[in-house]
Structure 1
Amino acid sequence: MTYPIDLRSDTVTQPSPAMRQFMAQAEVGDAVIDIDPTTERLEKLTAEMLGKEAAIFMPSGSMTNQIAIRLHCRPGDEFLCEENCHVYNYEQAAFAQLSGVVARTLPGEHGVLQPEQFEGKVRPENDHLVRTRLVCLENTHNRGSGKVQPFDVVQKITNWAHDHGLKTHLDGARLFNAAAATGIPVADWSAMFDTVSVCFSKGLGAPVGSALAGPAEFIRQAKRARKLFGGGMRQSGIIAAGALFALQNNVTRLSEDHEKAAKLAEAVRQTEGIHLDVDPVETNIVIFSIDKELGTAAQLQAALSERGVEVLSVAPQKIRMVTHLDVSMLQVDAAIEVIKQTLPALA
């Protein structure tokens, strides 16, 4: 068995030999001065898959999200989002630091909001009040254990937003996982939003990069904002090639990761002292709680690491495990055995 077995995140994937070869052979240019042909191919394919007019390649999902918020809003505006979403919790409130925008959070159930929660949330026009301009959703939801936003619920929320003159943005870092879990094409999910961000360096297995997709004029403005944020890249085709390879080769296999996560989840159900936070597990993220009598999440993380299984402590009593293309089903089986052997030793 190959150790370590790294279940900390789907961002730990390494580019495969075939991906590395594809990257090494990428045709490049200067993407800031003119055009990088490989980056252009990636952007066109991304836009096509998402059903949008255009797309732009950026170094990270944080940048794509923040540029979308910046362009949809003006300084002094607010956007509505779920209280545990990535944009609000893991991007240093960049919307405030960089763009003068504030967030109004709504409590979701494992990241899922309901349409009725948005009623009355648009501020009236008044010199004393912030202006409500945007709704942001996350699909799948990271803190929600990879929860898929129900399609009909998303449709009702985005319809409400557009009926009230608001723009909509989807943090779709793991949108391809949502599509794999539901069988609903990414373009159908994307169609409900004005702009969509997708990540190539998670389950798709590319080493770096995200894209923002939307109307052509919006993406033209996003290119200007990308330069402002320091995201203009020269021979970006080298890394864009990894993302392009991922779109062409690694999308359909995402369901394999979901099968691995389901096996981990079943093992958690059958193990005393630990309990799933979200059941059933829908995609590739498994979050479970550990009974205080056994110890803390940090203690369990350390003990598992000593035995060659890497997990992530995300709260005092919570552990996260994420499956991906670099973890085989055999390694999942081995990780399960290590967890079962390690837990009694903590008590």
Structure 2
Amino acid sequence: MIIDLRSDTVTQPTQAMRIAMANAPVGDDVYRDDPTINQLEQLAAELLDKEAALFVPSGTFGNQLAIMTHTQRGNEVLVGDACHILMHEVGAAAVLSGVQIRTFPVLADGIDVDKLKLMLRDNDIHFPNTGLICMENAQSSGKVVPLSNMEAVYALAKSRDIPVHIDGARIFNAALALGVEAKEIAAQGDSVNVCLSKGLCAPVGSLLLGTTSFIKKARKNRKLMGGGLRQAGILAAAGIISLTDMVPRLQEDHQNARYLANRLEEIESCMVMWNRLDINMVFFHPTRIGDYRIDTGFRAIRKKHKHQRTRRR
């Protein structure tokens, strides 16, 4: 048996999900008459204490839909210097929304709020308007951002009337690591994206949440982006089980991640990055591959032998 540990995106739907998908009542979601989609969106809104939710095909779609809905063309969007929106979404913000991305530093203990404050644009004819601030929790690095740090960022944004979007693809993992409810994290943003197919076993789907007026606008933008789905309740059925049955089991994933990290550390040629082990992700790098030792700069160095090898002619 092969165990695939590349990512928590390679999870398989459970048998309960497959049965629910096969039997899901469906309708046309563009007309908002798919009962299973409606049930999922209502459940998510209640769970994260937001007014409304919208089912979307992927986490990238959800983030980009949020950017498009919050901003105007030519705006500047501030994001963390190693976040998913910047690193793994193909420059979509520039292509789809016509905005420019500018990064702020994210330190070991969270976002540098003082530096972020200096990056907010003044009302100068030469400057783009700061249209949105994006936070990520949990981060793609495997670390979580303290709730107090998020609160400080949100307070700063509100003082300047700038909306905040949270990439909460793994928000339930972050909540578990922080010992808080997911809605406490979601409260630090005007919108939040939550992924159902990362660690929660659903085969497809994410949710974008916010105010009723925001989601109404996002629904039209979703159609513009090609995300107007029809009998999508087949997918939503799995998402409901993700939220009701799989979220309570995330503790098992975190425990397994620590078990894996401890066992990897026993291997002489592995170095575990313990400072990135807040959730269900384990990062490590090899210190030796074959005849090569890897230094901290990841440069391959030929290991020394007791005897000189005979050079072939």
Whole-angstrom distance in 2 between the partners of 1:289 and 1:192 = 34
The more displaced of 123-132 and 170-179 is 123-132
Selected match of 2:24 from 26, 45, 48: 26
TM-score by length of 1: 0.82
Q: Are the aligned partners of 1:74 and 1:99 in contact in 2 as well (CA < 8 Å)?
A: yes
Report the alpha carbon displacement of residue 229 of structure 1 after superposing the two structures with TM.
0.4
3-state secondary structure, aligned to 1:247: helix
Cα distance in 2 for residues equivalent to 1:286 and 1:227: 37
- Measure, in 1, the Cα distance between the counterparts of 2:157 and 2:52: 22
Does the residue aligned with 1:285 lie in a helix, a strand or coil? coil
Could you tell me how far apart the structure 1 residues matched to 2:256 and 2:233 are?
32
Q: Percent identity, please.
A: 43
| Counterpart amino acid of residue 50 in structure 1 | L
* In 1: Cα distance, 2:137 partner to 2:165 partner: 11
Residue matched to 1:81: 79
Count of residue correspondences: 297
| Pair member with larger Rg | 2
Q: Quick one: which amino acid aligns to residue 133 of structure 1?
A: G
Mapped contact 2:168–2:192 kept (Cα < 8 A):
yes
SS in 2 for 1:5: coil
Amino acid at match of 2:200: L
Q: Which residue identity lines up with residue 99 of structure 2 in the other structure?
A: V
Instruction: Give 5+ residue unaligned stretches, structure 2.
Output: 300-313
Q: Which of 278, 283, 287 pairs up with 1:287?
A: 283
User: Which deviates the most, 269-278 or 100-109?
Assistant: 269-278
Provide the residue aligned with 1:161 in structure 2.
157
- 8 Å Cα contact 1:275-1:288 kept in structure 2: yes
RMSD: 2.1
**Are the aligned partners of 2:4 and 2:10 in contact in 1 as well (CA < 8 Å)?**
yes
The equivalent residue for 1:265 is 261
Give the direction of change, closer, same or farther, for the CA distance of 1:234–1:279 in structure 2 (3 Å limit).
Answer: same
**In structure 2, how many angstroms separate the alpha carbons of the residues matched to 1:293 and 1:11?**
27
Residue matched to 2:271: 275
Tell me, yes or no, if the aligned pair for 1:26 and 1:237 is still in contact at 8 Å. Answer: yes
Out of 42, 45, 52, the residue aligned to residue 44 of structure 1 is 42
Q: Which residue of 1 aligns with 2:3?
A: 5
Number of the residue aligned with 2:234: 238
Distance 2:2 2:109 in 1: 31
Q: Alpha-carbon deviations, 1:280-299, whole Å to 9, x = none?
A: 61110011122256579xxx
Q: Aligned to 1:100, which of 95, 98, 101?
A: 98
Structure 1 residue 124 corresponds to structure 2 residue 122: yes
1:246-276 deviations in Å (ceiling 9; x for gaps): 1111111001000000111122333323222
Q: Which of 166, 171, 178 is the aligned partner of 1:170?
A: 166
Are the structure 2 counterparts of residues 210 and 277 from structure 1 closer, same or farther at C-alpha, using a change threshold of 3 Å?
same
> 1:181 Cα shift?
1.8
Of 156-165 and 90-99, deviating more is 156-165
User: Is the 1:36–1:235 contact (alpha carbons within 8 Å) kept by the matching residues of 2?
Assistant: yes
Deviations 1:86-118 (A, max 9, x none): 001111111100110111112323693222221
Query: What TM-score comes out, normalization by structure 2 length?
Result: 0.90
Seen in structure 2, the aligned counterparts of structure 1 residues 151 and 294 have a Cα distance that, compared at 3 Å, is: farther
Where structure 1 has 5 or more consecutive residues not aligned to the other structure, the ranges are 297-315, 319-347
Q: Which amino acid in structure 1 is aligned with residue 119 of structure 2?
A: K
Q: Which runs of 4+ in 1 moved over 6 A?
A: none
Q: Matched residues in 2 for 1:198 and 1:225: separation? A: 18
Does the aligned pair in 1 maintain the 2:257–2:282 contact within 8 Å?
yes
